[in-house]
Amino acid sequence: MPTTAPAFSDATASDSALRRFLFGLPGVDAVGLEARATSLGTRSIKTTAKAYAIDLAISMIDLTTLEGADTPGKVRALAAKAVNPDPTDRTTPRTAAVCVYPDMAATAAAALAGSGVKVASVATAFPAGRAALDVKLADVRDAVAAGADEIDMVIDRGAFLSGRFLKVYEEILAVKAECGAARLKVIFETGELSTYDNIRRASWIGMLAGADFIKTSTGKVATNATPANTLLMLEAVRDFRAQTGVQIGVKPAGGIRTTKDAVKFLVLVNETAGEDWLDPHWFRFGASSLLNDLLMQRQKLSTGRYSGPDYVTVD
């Protein structure tokens, strides 16, 4: 089973040690955090930089369908869109991944074979995470066996909120071990964690347990990704790399629908974590409708006019 970063091995030696470490983290200045996020969101982007940002954002999307009514046909259509987002312009980048439920991972893998687009699968009783550990691990094994390149797991928010931090840590460790070569994204559901201090603590638990990405949300609750909670997580991965040399990705998910939103998040990445994170390997958008707006804005820059309503497909 993987172990935590050597620099912090003492912090995870016991439940009390982990608690001391987490409560020893600097408290979050909520007013300052939100003010900085707002300030960075007002940065203006010139035309050339905007064109670059749009293409970068497209390449960072985990194109997502997580509905009870998902069908193999819908997943295949989404995969085709991920590989070729704009059939009228072959210079359009591919998206980073297609994200589906585990029972659709094999369909997605077949449709994306050879494309370079990753298959991401939610697991661990997504979105509530209310299942026994052996059930969660079976969920992960099934998704990986079906061809998932990436696993998006949800933490046990009940355990976290009741102070059972070592349980959360050990569950992430166990899931990471089942992932094999697949990369692990750990979802905190920040909208349920109540405070910025809790988001910082959850970020460190995920990083200590070996997450490849930390992710804001499932997209299934009222409050999902915000500039402030994403900024806080970017600060966490920046500080973690400074202390351990290990780089971890960040994925805001839910509620990011427009090009303007996406550009704001890219500015946050550049100004907080730095240019090293401006890459699909280290930053993703969990989104379903964002791609359409990016494509329309991309054509606007290219042609000087917006397309008609039939220009983009309806997901």
Q: What is the DSSP string of 174-239?
A: HHHHHHTTSEEEEE--GGGS-SHHHHHHHHHHHHHTT-SEEE---S-SSS---HHHHHHHHHHHHH
300 is catalytic: no
142 is catalytic: no
The active-site residue, picked from 139, 149, 152, 212, is 152
The active-site residue, picked from 81, 118, 136, 215, is 215
Q: What angle do CA 160, 163, 168 make, to 5 degrees?
A: 40
The active-site residue, picked from 81, 136, 176, 251, is 251
- Nearest alpha-carbon partner for 202 in 161, 231, 242: 161
152 is catalytic: yes
Show which residues are catalytic: 152, 215, 251
